[in-house]
Amino acid sequence: MSRSFVGEARRNVGRRRDRIRPIIHLLAEAHPDATIALRFRSELELLFSVILSAQTTDVNVNRVTERLFEKYRRPEDYLAVPQEELERDIYQTGFFRQKAKSLRGTARVLLEEFDGVVPRTLPELLRLPGVARKTANVVAAELGDPQGIVVDTHVRRLSQRLGLTREQEPVRIERDLVKLVPRADWGRFPHLLIWHGRRVCDARRPRCEECVLSPLCPSSRVVVTEPAQICDTRS
């Protein structure tokens, strides 16, 4: 696709600042069930589920944690067994040796620095072994205080296709998104893009003819004969 065509398509759908609220509104209507797919019952289970979710599917993590969280209920429990035993318990999530080190290291830091309680701020979360910015953003958002926007592969792909960013690096993409997305939507916005990416905007074969965002998307394969009507959903 030529740069001139991309530029023309972006002009036709309107400025990204004008499109962001309608995009959120339409996605929320299309995916009212968009939420985190990991299953957890406590803040500790949330944190450890997200750590285990690296390089594997949420379905796989849920399958492992169903048994894991019955055996390990407190940070102390992860330190009370040999690492090899924990590795066996999380083997199916992949990268089990590094993940076991992360879980044990995080449990130790939680006990030594946070009285066993999961911290809520990004700087504190980032002090935990195995917790990078994406993990910290997920945990903070699910605890009710999003301090950034989670950027995974779906969020990256869809935000680029929608013309919300031209960046490639997750940190730079997040920087663009937090300038556009209303802060009240920081927590749910990634879920909306993730579920839309799974259900409609497939990486290889996006179903643009079924997509509610086609009139607002510069990458849409659907020809829009009328200019996109940007609705103000604030009223």
Catalytic residue among 152, 176, 185, 202: 152
d(CA 8, CA 17): 17
Count of C-beta atoms within a 10 Å radius of residue 202: 11
Catalytic site residue 99? no
d(CA 161, CA 114): 41
Q: Which of 89, 134, 176, 232 is catalytic?
A: 134
What separation in angstroms does the CA of 211 have from each of 28, 52, 163, 192, 214? 13, 32, 16, 13, 6
Contact between residue 74 and residue 102 where contact means Cβ atoms under 8 Å apart: no
Helix (H) or strand (E) holding 96: helix 96-113
Q: How far is CA 215 from CA 13, 80, 112, 151, 226, in A?
A: 7, 56, 53, 24, 9
* CA 13 – CA 50 distance, rounded (Å): 36
Tell me the residue length of the chain: 235
Give catalytic residues, as residue numbers. 134, 152
